[in-house]
Structure 1
Amino acid sequence: MEYKIIIDSCGELTSEMKASGIYTSIPLYITVGERNMVDDETFDQQEFLRAAAATKECPRSSCPSPDQYLESYRGNEKRVYGVTLSANLSGSYNSAMLAKTMMEEQEPDKQVYIFDSRSASVAQTLIGLKIRECEEKGLSFEEVVTEVEAYIEGQNTYFVLEDLETLRKNGRLTGLKMLVASALNIKPVCGATAEGTIFQLGQGRGINKALQKMVQYLTTEVINPTEKVLAISHCNCLERAESVKKMILEKVAVKEVIILDTRGISTMYASDGGIIAVV
């Protein structure tokens, strides 16, 4: 293999991506109560959700070390691409960049580039797939970087969660207007800014109304939808994800749809019942 793609574990991988031999997942870590969990193939979503519900303490995450990234860059591949969750939400990007500097000192002939997704979850999935598409078209390293950075600029991320507490307590909602009308079952519709921070688009009375508004935003704002892949991740709510897919496809036609269950970090922040849509 001439290249490989490293994605931190906030990004979900499809079965085909796992089997391809092209993708490597670098785990983040979760602390819930007195338990420490690794966000790798051993992560049990149901076990985590039970543990989180059983403790009053807010779950916490920690990013991979530069040494972990450095080790993942090693190998015979000439080109290495990394995709991390937003640098404004995690230290994963900084760890990956530090490892890049170390690798360039040790193996100056190896080309390494780290993409800041400026998002999370299935946004990273789509970026990983875009990198592979560019490589398979025979683009040069520099051309891949340019095309994928442009793709990231054009991505739109939307999400509706049942509970924003984990995001709030972990300081991920800076600048977001927090709603005090929780007794009224108000659910915010949120998105990612161009800088990779979270902002509120709107709100709905109840999860279904909020999801309908999310679909409205997505289908109104998407450009050239027939050329786009729609990715939906859900936390323990496949039926809800399928419903969102149906609502979107009733309004616009897309190239392809991917639905994935959230990995550990995305599960931690999305909480039970959360939906993330990226196009």
Structure 2
Amino acid sequence: MNVQIVIDSASDLPKDIQKQYDIEAVPLIVHLDDEDFLDGETIQSKTVYQAMRDGKSPKTAQATPDSFQKVFTDQVEQGKAVVYLGFSSELSGTYQSAVIAKEEVLEQHPNADIYVIDTKAASMGCGLIAYEAAELAHQGADIQEILDAANHYVNNIEHIFTVDDLEYLYRGGRVSRTQAFVGSLLKIKPLLHVEEGKLVPLEKIRGSKKVLRRMVDLMKERGHDFDQQTIAITHGDDEENAQKLKELIQEEINPKNIIVHSIGAAIGAHAGPGTIALFFLNEVKK
């Protein structure tokens, strides 16, 4: 049986990889200027970042159960097993939409193989999990091998990220008004990570130049066997600093592969322009 990998747009997986491995992506919704848009389809991240620089506050909404039901039904009727690797349930209701859709599809197709997995990850944290699963599916791996690999990634994926302006996190309710003001005044750059699917403050760094250096140091402290893994860097319309981080990593760690990609509209609406994020495994599956 063929295995179909399904993601949502919060995975920020590059379109060329989605196309190469025939990965289906379900879009989250972005609300801007009194209109609703589909992330990555009817709105692109640059539009959102420019709106935020102009002082606007775009909002997001979870992908709908109907959108998942359509994708799941189409794949099941082609005789495929479906593995959905979803945006952290702690950060969005999108995972729950997929759970509802699965139940609805099983009413019509009780023998369908549909697996809905909460990756407890965001952006290319989700993306790397899907990339690994899709590679295995492409190679003809069976469903259990794919699920085992995906679950290993879920349990061992690391996120380290920083934002350019605490104001954006304030708008999203992640920091207080005072923290945002003081942070901007003192040029404090927060480092955050993801723990059990939630955004958790890690450190505060004074000065943007030190942040990239500290991200590499943390990567070296937390990760292993980089020559055996693909890592990812995503950015909020800041290709320059993303490339600087890539160069630092290549000089000191030299992983098997590095993917650099823009953060999409859904994640970007909360993190803001200037965000830099780094994703890697703390333990490679043997």
| TM, length-normalised to structure 2 | 0.88
CA distance in structure 1 between the partners assigned to 2:172 and 2:257 by the alignment: 34
CA distance in structure 2 between the partners assigned to 1:147 and 1:239 by the alignment: 33
**Which residue does 1:34 correspond to in 2?**
34
Alignment of structure 1 residues 48-59 onto 2, 5 Å: 48-55=48-55, 58-59=57-58
CA distance in structure 1 between the partners assigned to 2:198 and 2:81 by the alignment: 29
More deviation in 164-173 or 124-133?
A: 164-173
User: Is residue 212 of structure 1 aligned with residue 213 of structure 2?
Assistant: yes
Structure 2 counterpart SS, 1:42: coil
**Which residue does 2:249 correspond to in 1?**
248
* Displacement of 1:5: 1.5
More deviation in 72-81 or 135-144?
A: 135-144
**Which residue does 1:161 correspond to in 2?**
163
Change (3 A) 1:69 1:123: same
Change (3 A) 1:172 1:79: farther
**Which residue does 2:63 correspond to in 1?**
64
Q: Following TM superposition, where does structure 1 have runs of at least 4 consecutive aligned residues deviating by more than 6 angstroms?
A: none
More deviation in 15-24 or 125-134?
A: 15-24
- Determine if contact 1:215/1:247 at 8 Å carries over to the other structure: yes
* Displacement of 1:41: 2.6
**Which residue does 1:17 correspond to in 2?**
17
- Determine if contact 1:33/1:55 at 8 Å carries over to the other structure: no
Structure 1 counterpart SS, 2:151: helix
| TM, length-normalised to structure 1 | 0.90
- Determine if contact 1:203/1:213 at 8 Å carries over to the other structure: no
* Displacement of 1:165: 3.4
* Displacement of 1:17: 2.1
CA distance in structure 1 between the partners assigned to 2:183 and 2:169 by the alignment: 18
Letter in 1 for 2:185: A
* Displacement of 1:107: 1.1
CA distance in structure 2 between the partners assigned to 1:24 and 1:168 by the alignment: 33
**Which residue does 1:106 correspond to in 2?**
108
CA deviation vs aligned residue, 1:117-165 (integer Å, no higher than 9, x gap): 2121111211111112332454332332122101211111110111233
CA deviation vs aligned residue, 1:188-236 (integer Å, no higher than 9, x gap): 111111x111112212112221222112111221122111111111111
**Which residue does 2:133 correspond to in 1?**
131
CA distance in structure 1 between the partners assigned to 2:172 and 2:29 by the alignment: 14
**Which residue does 1:234 correspond to in 2?**
235
* Displacement of 1:276: 1.0
CA distance in structure 2 between the partners assigned to 1:18 and 1:224 by the alignment: 26
Change (3 A) 1:80 1:167: farther
Letter in 2 for 1:84: G
CA distance in structure 2 between the partners assigned to 1:275 and 1:18 by the alignment: 22
CA deviation vs aligned residue, 1:69-111 (integer Å, no higher than 9, x gap): 0101122142111122111000011111111121222212221
Letter in 2 for 1:13: L
Structure 2 counterpart SS, 1:51: helix
- Determine if contact 1:59/1:166 at 8 Å carries over to the other structure: no
Change (3 A) 1:222 1:103: same
Structure 1 counterpart SS, 2:11: coil
Number of residue pairs aligned between Structure 1 and Structure 2: 275
Letter in 2 for 1:59: P
User: Unaligned stretches of 5+ in structure 2?
Assistant: 281-286
CA distance in structure 2 between the partners assigned to 1:85 and 1:165 by the alignment: 24
Letter in 2 for 1:17: I
User: Unaligned stretches of 5+ in structure 1?
Assistant: none
Change (3 A) 1:33 1:63: same
Change (3 A) 1:100 1:111: same
Structure 2 counterpart SS, 1:10: helix
- Determine if contact 1:3/1:22 at 8 Å carries over to the other structure: no
- Determine if contact 1:189/1:211 at 8 Å carries over to the other structure: no
CA deviation vs aligned residue, 1:159-192 (integer Å, no higher than 9, x gap): 0111233444334569xx9563431100011111
